Structure 1
Amino acid sequence: MILLLGTLFILLILRVPVSFSLLMSSVIYLITHDIPPVAAIVRMAMGIGDSFPLLAVPFFILAGSIMNSGGITRRLFTFADTVVGHITGGLGHANILASIIFSGMSGTAIADAGGLGAVELKAMREAGYDEDFSLAVTGASSLIGPIIPPSVPAVVFGVIAGVSIGRLFVAGFIPGLIMGLVMSIFVYFQSKHRGYPKSQRATFRKLMQALKESFFALLTPVVIIGGILVGVFTPTEAAIIAVVYSLILGFAYREITWKDIPRCLKETADNTVSVMLIVACASIFGWILASAQIPQKLSLLFLAYVPNKYLALLLINIFLLIAGTFMETISALTILTPVLMPVVNGLGIDPVHFGIIMILNLMIGLLTPPVGMVLYVLAGVSHVAFEDIARAVVPYLIVLIITLLIFTYCPQIVLFLPNLVFD
Structure 2
Amino acid sequence: MAVLLFFSLFLLLFIGVPVSFSMGLSSMLAMMDKGISLQVAVQKVFSSMDSFPLMAIPFFILAGSLMEFSGISQRLINFANVLVGRITGGLGIVTVMTAMFFAAISGSSAATTAAIGSILIPAMVKQKYPINFATSVQAASGELGVIIPPSIPMIIFALTAGVSVSIGDLFIAGIFPGILIAGSLMLTIYVISKVKGYGIKSNSKLAEAETAATSETFTVTNGLSAFKSALLPMMMPVIILGGIYGGIFTPTEAAAVAVGYALLLGGVIYRTLNLKNIMVALKNSVIGTTVIMFIIGNAGLFGWVLTAERIPKIVAEWFVSISDSPFVFLLLVNILLLFMGMFLETGAAIVIIAPILTPVAVMFGIDPVHFGIIIIINLAIGMLTPPVGVNLFVACQIAGIRIDHIIKTLIPFYIVLLVDMALITYLPQISLWLLK
TM-score tier by shorter-chain length is over 0.9
User: Could you tell me whether the CA contact under 8 Å between 2:147 and 2:377 is conserved in 1?
Assistant: yes
Which range moved further: 229-238 or 353-362? Answer: 229-238
What is the match of residue 236 of structure 2? 220
For 1:325-353, what per-residue CA distance to the aligned partner results, in whole angstroms no more than 9, with x for missing partners?
Answer: 01110000000011112320221111111
Inter-partner Cα distance in structure 1 for 2:406 and 2:292: 26
What is the match of residue 5 of structure 1? 6
What is the match of residue 35 of structure 1? 36
What is the match of residue 231 of structure 1? 247
Inter-partner Cα distance in structure 1 for 2:264 and 2:351: 34
User: Could you tell me whether the CA contact under 8 Å between 2:244 and 2:251 is conserved in 1?
Assistant: yes
Per the alignment, in what secondary structure is the counterpart of residue 147 of structure 2? coil
Inter-partner Cα distance in structure 1 for 2:329 and 2:36: 36
Q: Aligned ranges for residues 263-278 of structure 1 at < 5 Å?
A: 263-278=280-295
Structure 1 position 197 matched with structure 2 position 200: yes
CA-CA distance at 1:98 after TM superposition:
0.8
Which range moved further: 395-404 or 223-232? Answer: 223-232
Inter-partner Cα distance in structure 1 for 2:319 and 2:219: 59
For 1:53-72, what per-residue CA distance to the aligned partner results, in whole angstroms no more than 9, with x for missing partners?
Answer: 11111111111111111100
Inter-partner Cα distance in structure 2 for 1:380 and 1:133: 14
User: Could you tell me whether the CA contact under 8 Å between 1:8 and 1:22 is conserved in 2?
Assistant: yes
Structure 1 position 81 matched with structure 2 position 81: yes
User: Could you tell me whether the CA contact under 8 Å between 2:167 and 2:251 is conserved in 1?
Assistant: yes
What is the match of residue 260 of structure 2? 244
For 1:66-98, what per-residue CA distance to the aligned partner results, in whole angstroms no more than 9, with x for missing partners?
Answer: 111110011111111011112211111111111
Inter-partner Cα distance in structure 2 for 1:45 and 1:300: 31
For 1:235-255, what per-residue CA distance to the aligned partner results, in whole angstroms no more than 9, with x for missing partners?
Answer: 111111111111221123232
For 1:217-267, what per-residue CA distance to the aligned partner results, in whole angstroms no more than 9, with x for missing partners?
Answer: 121221122111211111111111111111221123232201111211122
Structure 1 position 163 matched with structure 2 position 165: yes
User: Could you tell me whether the CA contact under 8 Å between 1:105 and 1:224 is conserved in 2?
Assistant: no
CA-CA distance at 1:200 after TM superposition:
5.1
Partner amino acid, structure 2, of 1:163: V
Which range moved further: 51-60 or 119-128? Answer: 119-128
What is the match of residue 62 of structure 1? 62
User: Could you tell me whether the CA contact under 8 Å between 1:4 and 1:28 is conserved in 2?
Assistant: yes
Instruction: Give percent identity, aligned residues only.
Output: 41
What is the match of residue 412 of structure 1? 429
TM-score for both structures, normalised by structure 2: 0.93
CA-CA distance at 1:387 after TM superposition:
1.9
Structure 1 position 326 matched with structure 2 position 343: yes
What is the match of residue 272 of structure 2? 255
Partner amino acid, structure 2, of 1:239: A
Inter-partner Cα distance in structure 2 for 1:176 and 1:291: 37
User: Could you tell me whether the CA contact under 8 Å between 1:96 and 1:184 is conserved in 2?
Assistant: yes
What is the match of residue 182 of structure 2? 180
Partner amino acid, structure 1, of 2:165: V
Per the alignment, in what secondary structure is the counterpart of residue 149 of structure 1? coil
User: Could you tell me whether the CA contact under 8 Å between 1:303 and 1:343 is conserved in 2?
Assistant: no
What is the match of residue 209 of structure 2? none
Inter-partner Cα distance in structure 2 for 1:192 and 1:417: 35
What is the match of residue 309 of structure 1? 326
User: Could you tell me whether the CA contact under 8 Å between 1:135 and 1:392 is conserved in 2?
Assistant: no
Inter-partner Cα distance in structure 2 for 1:59 and 1:7: 35
Per the alignment, in what secondary structure is the counterpart of residue 104 of structure 1? helix
Structure 1 position 17 matched with structure 2 position 34: no
User: Could you tell me whether the CA contact under 8 Å between 2:243 and 2:254 is conserved in 1?
Assistant: yes
CA-CA distance at 1:394 after TM superposition:
2.4
Inter-partner Cα distance in structure 1 for 2:312 and 2:105: 35
> Among residues 367, 376, 397, which one is paired with 1:380 in the alignment?
397
Partner amino acid, structure 1, of 2:18: P
User: Could you tell me whether the CA contact under 8 Å between 2:188 and 2:412 is conserved in 1?
Assistant: no
Gaps of 5+ in 2: 202-214
For 1:98-147, what per-residue CA distance to the aligned partner results, in whole angstroms no more than 9, with x for missing partners?
Answer: 11111111111111001122122132222222212211111111111211
What is the match of residue 118 of structure 1? 118
Which range moved further: 280-289 or 84-93? Answer: 84-93
Inter-partner Cα distance in structure 2 for 1:227 and 1:353: 22
Inter-partner Cα distance in structure 2 for 1:247 and 1:281: 33
User: Could you tell me whether the CA contact under 8 Å between 2:133 and 2:406 is conserved in 1?
Assistant: no
User: Could you tell me whether the CA contact under 8 Å between 2:157 and 2:350 is conserved in 1?
Assistant: yes
Per the alignment, in what secondary structure is the counterpart of residue 383 of structure 2? helix
Per the alignment, in what secondary structure is the counterpart of residue 42 of structure 1? helix
TM-score for both structures, normalised by structure 1: 0.96
Which runs of 4 or more aligned residues in structure 1 lie more than 6 Å from their structure 2 counterparts after TM superposition?
none
Inter-partner Cα distance in structure 2 for 1:366 and 1:145: 11
For 1:288-319, what per-residue CA distance to the aligned partner results, in whole angstroms no more than 9, with x for missing partners?
Answer: 11112111111112112221111111111011
For 1:37-68, what per-residue CA distance to the aligned partner results, in whole angstroms no more than 9, with x for missing partners?
Answer: 0111111110011x211111111111111111
User: Could you tell me whether the CA contact under 8 Å between 1:101 and 1:221 is conserved in 2?
Assistant: no
Structure 1 position 211 matched with structure 2 position 211: no
Inter-partner Cα distance in structure 2 for 1:384 and 1:190: 21
Partner amino acid, structure 2, of 1:4: L
What is the match of residue 96 of structure 2? 96
CA-CA distance at 1:155 after TM superposition:
0.6
Partner amino acid, structure 1, of 2:113: A
Partner amino acid, structure 1, of 2:111: A
CA-CA distance at 1:386 after TM superposition:
2.2
What is the match of residue 154 of structure 1? 154
User: Could you tell me whether the CA contact under 8 Å between 2:140 and 2:413 is conserved in 1?
Assistant: yes
